[in-house]
């Protein structure tokens, strides 16, 4: 360990020496006034040699960047190790990036951590812009996540929602006071994973009599463990990606942690793919094809395009994005409602008036529940699933906000700051669903799923799932904070924005819904 630290410091000294010599040489060249015209680069905080602005990286990183934007403006630059970076924090500049310069910023920067997670950059979210990505995007948008496919998934979502409500109802009945104390994140993650397992591979989690009423099935518990171990190392705030010296010696074992988690994930995916391949080989094909069945059918006609690696990478993206962000968004929504009981009562009254108490909320009801939609929009405004999106990279020189952005610059879009811009939103840090009523927020930029050609293709599925889950939880139960203590709203860091303290609450079946709950 000591030798590794000595070697790391030695390399750091060499990099520092090289940096200082480069500055001296660069200073002589630029001082003459000859050569290339000077760029008007965005303003920047003070940097330190070798590290650049990595000393500013703290969690949650989106909050740090929001503070820097308040000081340096909506477009400012940073140097993450040796990587040039531009941070955008205003709606106008974000629109400029993803409309006027959408193709220019369609690339992804290459990170070692992302390569480890995405089979060398083979995933839809991480792949470089080009023919391979365009084919992946077409398959995801047309074959896997189209409006028709999502509509076909709705019965599965409804069935999993009913199963979760049934387990919570039983848990409440087993408590003398009739109000069960539940940790929602585990149950919500289990639901999201179960929906994806059914639609991607036509299989289910292995619940038994022993674990029938637990928060999570064994599969959900294992997959969540994998997600929780990997997410902190992804995104734009991982110093390990920017400093080669950290990767060469890996004193903190980051690479080993990622690789170990990915082995478990890949084994899970291979089991699903192999089972689906056997089912198809045995003549189990039908009109209701799973997502894997579609991909494996395409593989038979174009094996050079739909390789096993491509199928694994795309499936991993679907599971990774579809479980964590959906469950986390619903958890944030319930946390906000518990801290604002008047909004919870208003949503419950709306559901009673529109749907009634003789049946559960359906997917067709959700668009007619205007206030519920306002709650979802306000939740995604305050707590977007990926507060900094995935980083982009410029493939050509361009201008953003009047500043020059050279080719090869990494772009970080601070959605968190854009959604809380005081110039756009009145009282931006407050939870006010009413701001979305009657079209009052029309024209204001909301981009929780990104923007432009790299926008998340799973938006329709995510919104349908969140709406149905949240509406059903509000309809079926009375919700209260544990011991009356306000829910902790501290934000975590990483690629997503998890709650630092997982939500715990008490749920008691509503008397008006007992007849429906007893029939589940």
Check which CATH number belongs to the domain holding 402 and give it: 1.10.630.10
Tell me what percent of the residues of the chain surpass a pLDDT of 70.
Answer: 90
352 Cβ partners below 8 Å, 6+ apart?
475, 512
Q: Do 10 and 17 form a contact (C-beta atoms < 8 A)?
A: no
Indicate if 95 and 6 belong to the same structural domain: no
Residue in 375, 496, 504 with CA at minimum distance from that of residue 431: 375
**Which DSSP string corresponds to 62-88?**
HHHHHHHHHHH-SEEEEEETTEEEEEE
63 Cβ partners below 8 Å, 6+ apart?
416, 491
Q: Do 90 and 74 form a contact (C-beta atoms < 8 A)?
A: yes
Indicate if 14 and 42 belong to the same structural domain: no
Indicate if 12 and 92 belong to the same structural domain: no
- Model confidence over 354-411: pLDDT tens digits? 999 999 999 999 999 999 999 999 999 999 999 999 999 999 999 999 999 999 999 9
Indicate if 12 and 90 belong to the same structural domain: no
Instruction: Determine the 3-state secondary structure of 262 from DSSP.
Output: helix
Indicate if 238 and 134 belong to the same structural domain: yes
As a whole number of angstroms, the distance between CA 402 and CA 397 comes to 13
Q: Locate 1 and state its tokens.
A: 């360990």
Indicate if 13 and 155 belong to the same structural domain: no
Indicate if 25 and 120 belong to the same structural domain: no
Domain count, the chain: 2
C-alpha separations of 436 from 333, 389, 460, 516 in Å: 15, 23, 19, 31
Indicate if 147 and 264 belong to the same structural domain: yes
Indicate if 351 and 490 belong to the same structural domain: yes
Range of the structural domain that residue 23 is part of: 1-30
Indicate if 23 and 48 belong to the same structural domain: no
Query: Does the predicted TM-score (pTM) go above 0.85?
Result: yes
As a whole number of angstroms, the distance between CA 367 and CA 376 comes to 12
Q: CB-side exposure of 113: number of CA atoms within 13 Å?
A: 26
Indicate if 209 and 69 belong to the same structural domain: yes
pLDDT mean for each 10 residues of the chain (520 residues): 43 49 38 53 95 94 97 97 96 98 97 94 95 94 90 94 95 92 93 92 69 71 90 85 86 89 95 92 73 93 94 94 93 98 98 98 97 98 96 97 98 98 96 95 95 95 97 98 96 92 96 95
- The answer to the question of whether 456 is labelled as a binding residue is yes
Q: What is the pLDDT of residue 246?
A: 83
Pure H helices in 73-183: 91-95, 112-117, 131-138, 147-173
Residue in 431, 448, 394 with CA at minimum distance from that of residue 62: 448
User: CA angle at residue 505 from 470 to 219, to 5 degrees?
Assistant: 70
User: CA angle at residue 60 from 52 to 78, to 5 degrees?
Assistant: 25
Q: What is the pLDDT of residue 39?
A: 80
Indicate if 188 and 248 belong to the same structural domain: yes
Residue in 453, 446, 305, 274 with CA at minimum distance from that of residue 373: 446
């Amino acid at each position: 360990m000591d030798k590794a630290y000595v070697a790391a410091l030695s390399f750091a000294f060499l990099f520092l020496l090289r940096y200082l010599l480069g500055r001296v040489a660069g200073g002589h060249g630029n001082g003459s006034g000859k050569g290339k015209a000077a760029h008007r680069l965005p303003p920047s905080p003070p940097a330190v040699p070798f590290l650049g602005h990595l000393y500013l990286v703290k969690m949650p990183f989106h909050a740090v960047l929001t503070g820097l934007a308040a000081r340096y403006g909506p477009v400012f630059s940073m140097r993450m190790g040796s990587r040039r970076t531009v941070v955008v924090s205003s709606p106008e500049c974000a629109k400029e990036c993803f409309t006027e310069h959408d193709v220019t910023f369609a690339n992804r920067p290459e990170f070692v951590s992302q390569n480890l997670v995405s089979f060398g950059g083979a995933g839809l979210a991480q792949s470089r812009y080009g023919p391979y990505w365009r084919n992946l995007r077409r398959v995801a948008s047309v074959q896997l996540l189209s409006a028709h496919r999502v509509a076909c998934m709705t019965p599965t979502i409804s069935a999993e929602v009913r199963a979760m409500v049934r387990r919570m109802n039983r848990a409440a009945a087993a408590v003398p006071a009739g109000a069960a104390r539940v940790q929602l994140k585990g149950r919500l993650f289990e639901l999201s994973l179960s929906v994806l397992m059914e639609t991607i591979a036509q299989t289910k989690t292995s619940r038994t009599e022993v674990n029938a009423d637990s928060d999570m099935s064994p599969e959900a518990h294992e997959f969540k463990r994998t997600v929780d171990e990997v997410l902190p190392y992804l995104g734009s705030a991982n110093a390990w990606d920017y400093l080669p010296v950290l990767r060469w010696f890996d004193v903190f074992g980051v690479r080993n942690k990622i690789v170990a988690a990915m082995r478990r994930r890949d084994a899970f995916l291979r089991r699903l793919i192999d089972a689906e391949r056997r089912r198809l080989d045995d003549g189990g094909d039908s009109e209701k094809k799973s997502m894997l069945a579609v991909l494996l059918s395409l593989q038979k006609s174009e094996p050079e395009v739909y390789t096993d690696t491509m199928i694994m990478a795309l499936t991993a993206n679907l599971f990774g994005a579809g479980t964590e962000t959906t469950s986390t968004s619903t958890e944030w929504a319930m946390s906000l409602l518990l801290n604002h009981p008047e909004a919870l009562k208003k949503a419950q009254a709306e559901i009673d008036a529109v749907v009634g108490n003789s049946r559960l909320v359906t997917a067709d009801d959700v668009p007619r529940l205007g206030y519920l939609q306002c709650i979802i929009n306000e939740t995604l405004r305050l707590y977007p699933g990926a507060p900094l999106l995935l980083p982009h990279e410029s493939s050509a020189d361009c201008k953003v906000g009047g500043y020059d952005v050279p080719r090869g610059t990494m772009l970080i879009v601070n959605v968190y700051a854009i959604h809380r811009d005081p110039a756009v939103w009145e009282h931006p840090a407050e939870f006010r669903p009413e701001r979305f009523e009657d079209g009052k927020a029309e024209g204001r930029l909301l981009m929780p799923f990104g923007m432009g050609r790299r926008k998340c293709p799973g938006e329709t599925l995510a919104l349908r799932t969140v709406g149905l889950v949240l509406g059903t939880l509000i309809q079926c139960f009375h919700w209260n904070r544990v011991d009356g203590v306000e829910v902790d709203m501290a934000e975590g860091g990483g690629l997503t924005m998890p709650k630092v303290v997982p939500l715990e609450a008490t749920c008691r079946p509503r008397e008006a819904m007992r007849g429906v709950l007893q029939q589940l």
